[in-house]
């Protein structure tokens, strides 16, 4: 079976005249049994540029923590090898992102194959005259070089592959919003330069065993600017139809069971938060496609399917890319008018389910003699249609009204916040003069819950609270971030305190939710007695809490804090989110 699939892919890849060895990947030359080490990427990039001087340029757009160059190929027959020229001529730019998880590396091998076929006129003829393709063969370069045979134990091929995370052990597909890694900062620089109208993020799944070989998810479709969603749906459906014609069984959702190992639990669709590529680009009013081939299919099959996606998406971008650009420009203008409007910042699937016919395999669920848990065992020799639930009605989970003018970031945080905003291409300005008693909205957390464990190197934070009118002083050097800009949704995703991937949610403001000043217990006891004696209303409130709240009554610290919070010595900035909202531009 494996040899037949390899032979089929080789037949697809082989042109009428054999390709120059310098233009073929190690994967192709091995029958897609192996994938090459990273040193083949700059070698191939240079070879493509020599072989197709009218159509290919390559560039280094960043350097990894271990000192490796991050390579991108620019492929077009429009002559627009400069981003400014592409913008001037209104050319659509398609970004192909391979190897964000370097063990899932079919994007690298499929991308070189697809581009060579386009350049030779064997696939997508005429497409390169209509668009610019920016191809990043391997995003996670250092992870790619952590090379071993068992880096993906639930994946069939290649023989060896890279590692999921970077040399700093960061998962780049959790880093789009927070942009902690040098690799992501370089990628955001590439996005700022080229501003691709569409991107494809090329992966392989984890998970169960079944017949479906790829899933295609696109945004905007459920989320983002409403006028872009129809185009997003058409993009997804057109690519899926092309895959079906080529023998694939594509899915429009990520096939992860609601209950980890139980097929009967079915699936729930959703919208990823902006830590992920597909949750990030729609906040910029651009299209993203998450491509997940099925890890249990052999590597030749996965490369072939990924190649088919790339070709189909390139053809679609050539046909409709200029229309998408017009739609995106209109969406940018609408985003700049979001002030005072409700804006969804997170999404969820409702409990409404429909039954779907899913191409799986016969399976049993029996207790394991190893773990003792109930385990699923699949019989790949017996295809079986599962009739299981799919929850695919997607609704907003968190909706926040956009501020009237924007956000104010105090000078104490202006340097690092400004740098993050600059990476994302968000507009802001520094205040030359202080603001005194400015009328603003402030968010005070009634409850701040720190995560019990580190996640992506950070202690995350969840806040409960609300915005309320207050007056605040802000020193010169503070930042004003206007809501009236094309990336308004991204601004809110990063600065609204309850958004799932806001800076504060990632723990970047944690010190503001730590109590720093205290009153010694013996002092608090004396202060409490004075307050009780002086204020009958306070005494009545305290006694009511004692009667009605048994937990409070039994907690000495809570009882003393009752008085400390009402004393002039209480820290008015404790649990105050330092970013403010304003309805008036300074």
Give Cα 133 distance to the centre of its chain.
21
Q: How many CB atoms within 10 Å of residue 226?
A: 10
In eight-state DSSP terms, residue 576 is: B
CA atoms of 49 and 75, how far apart (whole Å): 9
Q: For helices 2-13 and 299-335, what crossing angle results, to 10°?
A: 60
DSSP 147-173: -BTTSSTTS---SSB--SS-TT---GG
Size of the chain in residues: 586
CA atoms of 426 and 417, how far apart (whole Å): 11
CA atoms of 415 and 406, how far apart (whole Å): 18
**358 burial via Cβ count (<10 Å: 0-12, 13-18, 19+):** buried
CA atoms of 88 and 71, how far apart (whole Å): 25
| pLDDT at site 516 | 87
CA atoms of 294 and 260, how far apart (whole Å): 16
Residue 218 and residue 168 in contact, taking contact as beta carbons nearer than 8 Å:
no
Q: For helices 556-564 and 521-534, what crossing angle results, to 10°?
A: 60
| pLDDT at site 70 | 98
Which part of the chain has CATH 3.40.630.10? 2-326
CA distances from 120 to 72, 82, 111, 114 (A): 20, 23, 14, 10
Domain 2-326: CATH class, spelled out = alpha beta
- The pTM (predicted TM-score) of the whole model is 0.93
Q: pLDDT per position in the chain (586 positions), as tens?
A: 333 444 444 444 444 445 667 899 999 999 999 999 999 999 999 999 999 999 999 999 999 999 999 999 999 999 999 999 999 999 999 999 999 999 999 999 999 999 999 999 999 999 999 999 999 999 999 999 999 999 999 999 999 999 999 999 999 999 999 999 999 999 999 999 999 999 999 999 988 999 999 999 999 999 999 999 999 999 999 999 999 999 999 999 999 999 989 999 999 999 999 999 999 999 999 999 999 999 999 999 999 999 999 999 999 999 999 999 999 999 999 999 999 999 999 999 999 999 999 999 999 999 999 999 999 999 999 999 999 999 999 999 999 999 999 999 999 999 999 999 999 999 999 999 999 999 999 999 999 999 999 999 999 999 999 999 999 999 999 999 999 999 999 999 999 999 999 999 999 999 999 988 878 889 889 988 998 999 999 999 999 999 999 999 999 988 988 887 888 877 788 999 999 999 999 9
| pLDDT at site 315 | 98
């Amino acid at each position: 079976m494996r040899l037949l699939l390899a032979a089929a892919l080789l037949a697809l890849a082989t042109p009428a005249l054999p390709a120059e060895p310098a233009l073929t990947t190690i994967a192709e030359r091995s029958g897609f049994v192996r994938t090459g080490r990273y040193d083949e990427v700059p070698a191939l990039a240079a070879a493509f540029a020599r072989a197709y001087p009218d159509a290919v340029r390559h560039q280094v757009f960043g350097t990894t923590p271990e000192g490796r160059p991050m390579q991108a190929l620019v492929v077009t027959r429009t002559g627009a090898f400069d981003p400014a020229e592409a913008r001037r001529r209104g050319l659509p730019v398609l970004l192909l992102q391979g190897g964000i998880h370097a063990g899932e590396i079919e994007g690298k091998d499929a991308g070189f194959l697809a581009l060579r076929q386009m350049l030779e006129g064997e696939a997508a003829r005429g497409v390169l005259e209509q668009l610019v393709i920016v191809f990043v063969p391997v995003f996670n370069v250092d992870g790619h070089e952590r090379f071993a045979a068992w880096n993906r134990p639930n994946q069939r091929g290649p023989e060896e592959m890279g590692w999921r995370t970077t040399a700093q052990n960061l998962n780049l597909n959790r880093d789009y919003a927070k942009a902690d890694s040098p690799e992501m900062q370089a990628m955001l620089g590439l996005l700022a330069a080229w501003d691709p109208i569409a991107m494809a993020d090329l992966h392989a799944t984890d998970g169960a065993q079944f017949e479906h070989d790829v899933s295609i998810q696109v945004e905007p479709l459920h989320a983002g600017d409403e006028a872009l969603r129809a185009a997003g749906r058409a993009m997804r459906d057109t690519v899926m139809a092309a895959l079906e014609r080529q023998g694939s069984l594509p899915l429009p959702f990520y096939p992860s069971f609601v209950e980890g190992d139980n097929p009967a639990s079915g699936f729930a669709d959703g919208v990823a938060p902006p830590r992920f590529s597909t949750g990030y680009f729609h906040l910029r009013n651009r299209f993203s496609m998450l491509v997940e081939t099925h890890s249990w299919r052999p590597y030749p099959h996965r490369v072939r399917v990924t190649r088919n996606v790339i070709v189909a998406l390139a053809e679609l971008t050539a046909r409709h890319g200029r229309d998408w650009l017009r739609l995106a420009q209109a969406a940018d203008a609408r985003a700049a008018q979001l002030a005072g409007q409700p804006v969804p910042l997170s999404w969820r699937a409702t409990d409404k389910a429909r039954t779907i016919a899913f191409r799986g395999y016969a399976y049993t669920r029996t207790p394991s003699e190893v773990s003792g848990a109930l385990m699923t065992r699949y019989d790949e020799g017996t295809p079986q249609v599962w009739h299981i639930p799919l929850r695919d009605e997607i609704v907003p989970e968190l909706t926040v009204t956009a501020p009237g003018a924007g956000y104010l970031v105090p000078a104490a945080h202006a340097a690092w916040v400004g740098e993050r905003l600059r990476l994302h291409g968000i507009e802001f300005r520094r205040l030359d003069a202080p603001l005194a008693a400015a009328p603003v909205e402030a968010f005070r957390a009634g409850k701040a819950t720190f995560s019990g464990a580190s996640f992506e190197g950070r202690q995350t934070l969840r806040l409960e609270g609300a915005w309320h009118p207050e007056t605040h002083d802000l020193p010169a050097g503070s930042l004003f971030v206007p809501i009236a800009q094309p990336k308004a949704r991204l601004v809110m995703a990063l600065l609204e305190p309850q958004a799932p991937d806001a800076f504060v949610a990632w723990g970047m403001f944690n010190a503001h939710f730590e109590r720093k000043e205290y009153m010694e217990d013996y002092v608090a006891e004396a202060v409490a007695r004075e307050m009780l004696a002086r204020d009958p209303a306070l005494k009545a409130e305290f006694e009511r809490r004692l009667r009605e709240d048994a937990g409070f009554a039994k907690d000495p610290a809570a009882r003393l804090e009752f008085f400390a919070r009402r004393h002039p010595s209480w820290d008015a900035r404790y649990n105050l989110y330092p970013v403010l909202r304003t309805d008036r531009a300074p």
